[in-house]
Amino acid sequence: MLQTIVVVLIVLWLLGLVTSYSLGGFIHVLLIVALILLAVSFFQSRRS
C-alpha cells in the first residue's frame, strides 16, 4: 500500500513537471513526501 502511494506521488510530480503546471511548491512537496514514505517503507522492511 505504501509503495503504491509513493508511485502515485512520483507520477503526479512528473506530470506536474511535464505539463509545466505547478501550484507553487506543491509539486515539490509531493516529491518530498514520496521520498520520505519510500525511506520509511525501506527501514520498516529491514527491521522485520
Q: What is the pLDDT of residues 1-48, one digit of tens each?
A: 777 888 887 787 777 766 666 565 676 777 788 888 888 888 888 776
What pLDDT sits at residue 39? Answer: 87
Q: Model's pTM, two decimal places?
A: 0.54
Q: What are the grid coordinates assigned to 29, written together?
A: 512537496
Interaxial angle between packed helices 2-18 and 26-47, expressed in degrees from 0 to 180 and rounded to the nearest 10: 150
What pLDDT sits at residue 4? Answer: 83
Q: Which residues contact 12 (CB under 8 A, 6 or more apart)?
A: 27, 30
Cα–Cα distances in Å, from 40 out to 5, 20, 21, 22? Answer: 12, 29, 29, 26
